[in-house]
Structure 1
């Protein structure tokens, strides 16, 4: 579903990604792990079309999408949920959700997608007409994910969904992601600093350090590697 080859991305003189290569299988959840400053968010921003790479290739479902802007990627089925969600607080919950499918011409499908998201996240259904500014941190994260799902993505780039959230809320969001994969075959590339939580739902994981891939393995094997966990994952 996604192939990243020798990706290099810099901010001025700082090389944030240094020849990063990874791939994800169709219908899988893949975790990208590492400490702050490892390059995790830059990876998603580059794959998602928000940052232009210096070199390397990004292929989505066999198509070279290197350098495509975010809106074109969204229309192709690759959708990025940024760190902290980026909801528009001046709009209502429903208005935020409808923005996610604004480009879709099938009105019946847009309505169906809205119903599905509200069923998936009951707190959003309860606050459908309220301003997003009134939502809790967990509800805003649900709203950001729900807005992305309105476009019916095939690949979801999800950046730090647990950031600043209570453990129970984090578990709820990760469970929804796992359920979505099981129900729809959605492929997820999950960036998460809480490595234990991410690996609990992931099939496979990559560990970044200073912009480089330092380890890749099945999720259960990464969890079982004490030396790796202590060196890079913080538990």
Structure 2
């Protein structure tokens, strides 16, 4: 019997007024899988993540997390069910320290000891943050801020991580480090990742599966290696 997907999306539709941003999008990601969501600007990638995390209301369709229907739940309940969302730009609070930002990510966890253990795990994963734990996030480099955004999301110990453009504005070396961390997290925690990226080659290099969106609809859903090898698809939708 096939294992139940960790994340299933069935016929998801979302609108902004009269504009349909997602039109019947379906996808599934197995436990510990990494799925790259690709496409041009305006294809619906960010709307997909916002709808999955409860920040955007779905007009129709379903989002299932490990079999549980979370489609109509408020965003904070998505977190409690095990889904974390790192938006484009990370969204860290610049005026707060690294430690305070991390604490925000673990607010809903029941015990102080549990939160402290989560924070220690994050600082072990991202050594540059440990060295700057008492500094305001405003003093961090772009790469360090992205690490902090990831670390804050991991404070909730999610089962599914939604990442929107984690490499935006970062140097290639830092981008490679972040992609490597995703592979490590998958191996160590069996974390399931949905990765939105403009850098299609980088995203597909760490993904098992790729989903290409075009004007809010699925243009192709395929094994990541096959997408990389499909010249027509790459030229038509991925820009390389």
Q: Under TM normalisation by the shorter chain, which class is it?
A: over 0.9
Matches within 5 A, 1:23-102: 23-102=28-107
CA distance in 2, matches of 1:172, 1:69: 33
Deviation of the 1:107 alpha carbon: 2.0
**Which one of the candidate residues 153, 172, 178 is aligned to 1:167?**
172
**Which one of the candidate residues 99, 120, 130 is aligned to 1:115?**
120
Look up the SS of the partner of 1:18 in the other structure: strand
Residue equivalent to 1:143: 148
Deviation of the 1:106 alpha carbon: 2.4
TM-score (norm 2): 0.96
CA distance in 2, matches of 1:71, 1:37: 26
Residue equivalent to 1:216: 221
CA distance in 1, matches of 2:231, 2:131: 43
Matches within 5 A, 1:134-213: 134-213=139-218
**Which one of the candidate residues 107, 110, 119 is aligned to 1:105?**
110
What stretches of structure 1 move > 6 A for 4+ residues in a row?
Answer: none
CA distance in 1, matches of 2:38, 2:77: 27
Residue equivalent to 1:12: 17
Look up the SS of the partner of 1:165 in the other structure: coil
Unaligned runs of 5+ in 2: 1-5
After superposition, what is the alpha-carbon deviation per residue over 1:53-100, rounded to whole angstroms, capped at 9, x for unaligned? 111111111011112111101011011111111001110001000111
Look up the SS of the partner of 1:72 in the other structure: helix
CA distance in 1, matches of 2:48, 2:221: 15
Unaligned runs of 5+ in 1: none
Deviation of the 1:137 alpha carbon: 1.1
Answer with 133-142 or 222-231: which moved more. 133-142
Asked if 1:130 is matched to 2:105, the reply is no
Give the aligned CA root-mean-square deviation in angstroms: 0.7
